[in-house]
Amino acid sequence: MIKIYHNNRCSKSRCGLEILEKSGKEFEIVKYLDDTLSAKALKEIIALLKIKPIDLIRKNEAIWKEHYKGKTLTDAEVVNAMAKHPKLIERPIVINGNKAVIGRPPELILDII
């Protein structure tokens, strides 16, 4: 089943959701700000995305700038920061089986559905 990690307040996330709706395929919406992700779940998503944890961070978020910017963090510390502050997670993330993509731009979602 396709999953979208979604934040309705984000225009790119809403566009990603629209792409999935138009595809006609079944999918599950995960509202990760309400149902926060554990460090373990984040590590699994990062592995599917084939990126470094820092590449999943929204570096313009105030939380990042105030608490983490300019610091040398390990991968585990970056993952823990996202688990503690889910607003830091880039979105939308779409997972289809063993494939995953960050929908920026949202059209990248088409590559895995």
Residues noted as catalytic: 10
| Gap between the Cα atoms of 94 and 13, Å rounded | 10
Neighbour count for residue 109 (Cβ, 10 Å): 25
| Gap between the Cα atoms of 41 and 77, Å rounded | 15
Residues 31 and 17: beta-carbon distance below 8 Å:
no
